[in-house]
């Protein structure tokens, strides 16, 4: 007993001396506060944002809204809990949606008087979101309406029949089956006493008014005078919808209900229209190629009087994530991935001159602009999201929230290193290495090769709650995360190189990355290497399992593509499969591509323990892909485990599922690498 008390005292004394606990756990990760949704008021006095906290014991989360006074940086919570789609109006009030007694209400909140006012009661209407006109006299909503018949409509005498009848594509998308309802865009106008619904912008059209599942109210905006509604969607159905990314920007005139197509010259995605305050110029994000969702995302502007266009980022070999107008209307600020980070840029609207404004080792993930500052949400592999303010005139960056400081203050942090290595074809590739907290270079550490999904998604400085590098390094692993072929941020040629070559140079990039790090970092234990990843990263794990020549001692594949033929026959967005894989497997010209790139052809070479994880609602990479891989492992007698989440899709979203995911993940890796 004395020895135990002495050990506890020494441990506590050590913590008090160094002020840090040794380990960041999955439970601590789920206890972190998640900041999001920052927007600045028109008078530039306040920032609205939200903090979400999860209680994994109850499997729920709560979101608290905050206002920050910009000059003093003082913040306080506000009494609009449960609100969503929060925006500022021209009177510097917050307008939002909230559920009251099983129906949705639109309200406004005055920060000065701290009072709320009901603007409109939608009663039984299902509201997804709304956007205001600048004068407050109109608003537009995304509302759920019936777009297609279901079984009971055809057979009313069979109300208990549990069946679906499908006659076209896409009958399911990401994590949901296509139902009878879809979102249509409605507009409302203010009268002397209330708002009145005036009409359906796409009345009689069988298409949703935004392209789901990720397109929402950000695809809609009003003209400066409120008389025109601009929106983005893909007015296609069936097979045509499944194989195309050709969405358009439309202009709907409220005076005469006439709709005009503005972007028919462009064949890829046209999204996120945003009018400037003069009402003369429309900006939006645009891709050139139909069917290629990872094409360069450009900022285009259009003079609405002359319909003349300009590509503001034509000379930038990077893809834009998001953008905002500066109040002067002379500058647009935007975020783009560059060299394994996401940075802030500006572009001069008249000259198209582009300036990179930040160069930190971080990701900026949201922005809004005032006359003299840019409000940013910032995160890194080590730090969760906080608010920062950038002043372009001085270049000053200032952190204005530290929402997790108390939770992380005593927890030792890993170290992130940047390495550039030479690939097998003579190119330079960025590799992030994450070293465990209190790293000791004289020790040997098990090491994980992280394989990114996408495949065209950057290995940037994100703070992920599934692939959390801080958490993995805190369990004693070195992480090797290559920006292999096919990732944005290194020019479009590097990004495009993976299409139709999934099992080619990208796999060489992975192997040279781990080999180079092993050779150059003595602390890596070359006998305790693992490879992990999800989606294309899960595919990569399956592929590496057949070519790694015994480098790795353990694999983890989450929602990976195993058999490209069966995957092509069951996935939903076929434009992705066509552009990245090459198209249907039954075409003679594609047989060599499938033979080379499908991991299931290499199962005869598999010999390494593998954990396979999949979600039952994953329709991008259906669950049978994981089941096939697991069955092959079992039949070959290779140590393996199948972790299945029936109520999760392509991601893990529920707190207890997320914690279970990591417990099984670390148990598996610990069994074979420690």
HEC secondary structure over 581-609: CCCCCCCHHHHHHHHHHCHHHHHHHCCCC
Q: What is the chain's Cα-based Rg?
A: 26
Would you call 120 a catalytic residue per the annotation?
A: no
Do residues 638 and 607 lie in contact, with contact meaning Cβ atoms separated by under 8 Å?
Answer: yes
Do residues 452 and 294 lie in contact, with contact meaning Cβ atoms separated by under 8 Å?
Answer: no
Question: How many CB atoms lie under 10 A from the CB of residue 416?
Answer: 19
State the Cα–Cα distance between residues 125 and 197, nearest whole angstrom: 12
Give which of 323, 321, 299 is closest to 310, Cα–Cα.
299
Would you call 7 a catalytic residue per the annotation?
A: no
What SS3 class is residue 17? helix
Catalytic residue among 184, 326, 600, 650: 650
Catalytic residue among 535, 557, 579, 640: 535
Listed in order, strand segments (DSSP E) in 350-395 are: 354-356, 363-369, 374-379, 386-391
Would you call 650 a catalytic residue per the annotation?
A: yes
State the Cα–Cα distance between residues 219 and 199, nearest whole angstrom: 18
Give which of 126, 370, 377, 140 is closest to 273, Cα–Cα.
140
State the Cα–Cα distance between residues 553 and 609, nearest whole angstrom: 7
- Within 13 Å, how many C-alpha atoms sit on residue 176's CB side? 8
Q: 455: cis peptide before it, omega within 30°?
A: yes
CA 211 from chain center: how many Å?
Answer: 16
What SS3 class is residue 304? coil
Do residues 430 and 420 lie in contact, with contact meaning Cβ atoms separated by under 8 Å?
Answer: yes
**DSSP secondary-structure letter at 240?**
H
- For the chain, the 3-state helix, strand and coil shares in percent, each to the nearest 5, are 20, 35, 45
Catalytic residue among 270, 383, 496, 618: 618
- β-partners of residue 352 are none
**Ramachandran class of 207: left when φ > 0, alpha when ψ lies in -120 to 50, beta otherwise:** beta
Structural element, H or E, at residue 641: strand 640-645
Cα angle 189-190-195, degrees, rounded to a multiple of 5: 85
Structural element, H or E, at residue 566: helix 564-568
Question: How many CB atoms lie under 10 A from the CB of residue 162?
Answer: 6
Question: How many CB atoms lie under 10 A from the CB of residue 589?
Answer: 9
Strands 445-451 and 524-534: parallel
Cα angle 468-470-472, degrees, rounded to a multiple of 5: 70
Residue 574: which residues within 8 A CB-CB, separation 6 or more?
A: 169, 239, 242, 243, 568
Helices (H) and strands (E) in the chain, counts: 14, 38
What SS3 class is residue 368? strand
Q: Rounded to 10 degrees, what is the CA torsion of 514, 516, 521, 522?
A: 90
The residue with tokens 């008014």 is: 209
Active site residues: 535, 618, 650
């Amino acid at each position: 007993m004395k020895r135990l008390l002495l050990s506890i005292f020494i441990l506590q004394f050590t913590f008090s001396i160094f002020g840090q606990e040794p380990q960041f756990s999955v439970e601590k990760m789920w206890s972190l506060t998640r900041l999001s949704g920052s927007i600045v008021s028109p008078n530039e006095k306040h920032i609205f944002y939200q903090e979400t906290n999860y209680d994994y014991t109850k499997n729920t989360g709560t979101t608290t809204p905050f206002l920050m006074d910009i000059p003093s940086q003082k913040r306080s919570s506000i009494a609009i809990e449960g609100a969503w789609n929060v925006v500022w109006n021209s009177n510097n009030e917050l307008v939002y949606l909230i559920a009251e007694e099983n129906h949705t209400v639109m309200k406004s909140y005055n920060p000065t008087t701290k009072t709320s006012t009901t603007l409109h009661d939608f009663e039984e209407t299902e509201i997804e979101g709304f956007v205001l006109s600048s004068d407050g006299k109109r608003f537009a909503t995304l509302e759920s309406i019936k777009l297609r018949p279901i079984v009971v409509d055809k057979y009313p005498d069979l109300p208990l029949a549990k069946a679906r009848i499908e006659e076209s594509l896409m009958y399911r998308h990401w994590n949901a089956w296509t139902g009878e309802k879809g979102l249509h865009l409605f507009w409302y106008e203010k009268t002397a006493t209330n708002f009145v619904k005036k009409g359906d912008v796409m009345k009689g059209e069988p298409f949703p008014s935004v392209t789901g599942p990720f397109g929402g109210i950000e695809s809609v905006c009003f003209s400066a005078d409120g008389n025109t509604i601009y929106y983005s969607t893909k007015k296609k159905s069936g097979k045509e919808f499944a194989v195309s990314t050709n969405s358009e920007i439309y202009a709907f005139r409220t005076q005469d209900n006439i709709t005009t197509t503005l972007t028919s010259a462009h064949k890829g995605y046209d999204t996120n229209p945003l009018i400037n305050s003069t009402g003369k110029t429309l900006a939006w994000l645009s891709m050139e190629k139909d069917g290629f969702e990872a094409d360069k995302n450009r900022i285009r502007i259009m003079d609405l009087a002359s319909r003349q266009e300009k590509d503001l980022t034509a000379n930038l070999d990077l893809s834009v994530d998001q953008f905002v107008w500066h109040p002067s209307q002379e500058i647009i600020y935007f975020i783009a991935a560059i060299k394994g980070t996401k940075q802030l840029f500006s572009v001069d609207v008249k000259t198209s001159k582009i300036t990179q404004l930040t160069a930190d080792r971080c990701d900026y993930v949201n922005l809004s602009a005032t006359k003299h500052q840019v409000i940013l949400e910032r995160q890194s592999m080590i730090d969760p999201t906080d608010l920062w303010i950038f002043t372009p005139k001085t270049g000053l960056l200032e952190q204005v929230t530290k929402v997790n400081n108390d939770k992380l203050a005593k927890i030792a942090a890993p170290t992130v290193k940047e390495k550039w290595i030479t690939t097998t074809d003579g190119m330079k590739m960025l590799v992030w290495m994450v070293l465990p907290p209190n790293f000791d270079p004289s020790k040997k550490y098990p090491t994980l090769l992280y394989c990114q999904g996408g495949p065209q998604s950057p290995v940037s400085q994100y703070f992920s709650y599934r692939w959390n590098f801080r958490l993995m390094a805190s369990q004693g692993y070195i992480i090797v995360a290559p920006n292999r072929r096919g990732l944005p941020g290194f020019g479009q040629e590097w990004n495009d190189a993976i299409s139709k070559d999934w099992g080619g140079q990208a796999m060489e990039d992975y192997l040279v990355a781990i080999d180079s790090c092993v050779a150059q970092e003595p602390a890596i234990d070359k006998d305790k290497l693992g490879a992990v990843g999800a989606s294309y990263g899960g595919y990569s794990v399956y592929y590496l399992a057949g070519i790694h020549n015994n480098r790795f001692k353990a694999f983890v594949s989450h929602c990976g593509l195993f058999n490209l033929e069966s995957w092509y026959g069951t996935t939903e967005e076929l434009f992705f499969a066509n552009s990245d894989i090459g198209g249907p497997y039954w075409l003679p010209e594609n047989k060599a591509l499938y033979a080379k790139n499908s991991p299931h052809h290499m199962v005869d070479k598999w010999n390494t323990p593998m954990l396979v994880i999949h979600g039952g609602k994953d329709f991008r990479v259906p669950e049978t892909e994981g089941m096939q891989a697991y069955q092959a492992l079992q039949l070959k007698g290779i140590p393996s485990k199948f972790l299945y989440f029936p109520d999760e899709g392509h991601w893990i979203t529920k707190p207890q599922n997320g914690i279970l995911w990591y417990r099984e993940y670390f148990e598996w890796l610990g069994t074979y690498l420690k």
